[in-house]
Amino acid sequence: MNFPICSITNSERESLKFANDFAKEPKAGDIVAFTGDLGTGKTFIVKAIANYFGIDEVTSPTFSIVNTYEQDVRIHHFDFYRLKKVEELYDIGFEEYLNDRSAIVFIEWAEMFEELLPQSIYRISIKHLGESKREIKIEIK
């Protein structure tokens, strides 16, 4: 894939194909930050990418803040949605997760603590355009 990229998907099936195509890009040590309103499909995309790496049981870490999965690669999956203060991330050792060069780190609601993220990461923004229609943009910044 050449970045930046922007795609309009018209169904879950098209979003799944887009996610599967992107799944070939991130490698251990990479960070993928997701932004988008509630219900746009951030967790759906993470699940699809994790499935590409042989991980079938992915759940949103909304209440646990982070879930870790391991199969073909280790994945740390964060959800910042319920966090109120940056100290909550420091309390769970967020920097150690970010520096885990043997894992891919996915962060939903990344815009909430943008200041903690390194510069060179994949940034995926998803916009809801209709019931199943989405605009998905991927940049490396």
Q: Return the H-helix or E-strand segment holding 139.
A: strand 134-140
pTM of the model: 0.94
What pLDDT sits at residue 62? Answer: 81
As averages over each run of 10 residues, the pLDDT of the chain (141 residues) reads 95 96 96 96 96 92 91 95 93 95 97 93 97 96 84
Q: Which domains can be identified in the chain, with CATH numbers? A: 5-140 (3.40.50.300)
Which residues are paired to 139 by β-bridges?
A: 123
pLDDT tens for 82-123 read 999 999 999 999 999 999 999 999 999 999 999 999 989 999
Q: What angle do CA 127, 131, 135 make, to 5 degrees?
A: 25
Residue 53, classed as helix, strand or coil, is coil
Other CB atoms within a 10 A radius of the CB of residue 69 amount to 20
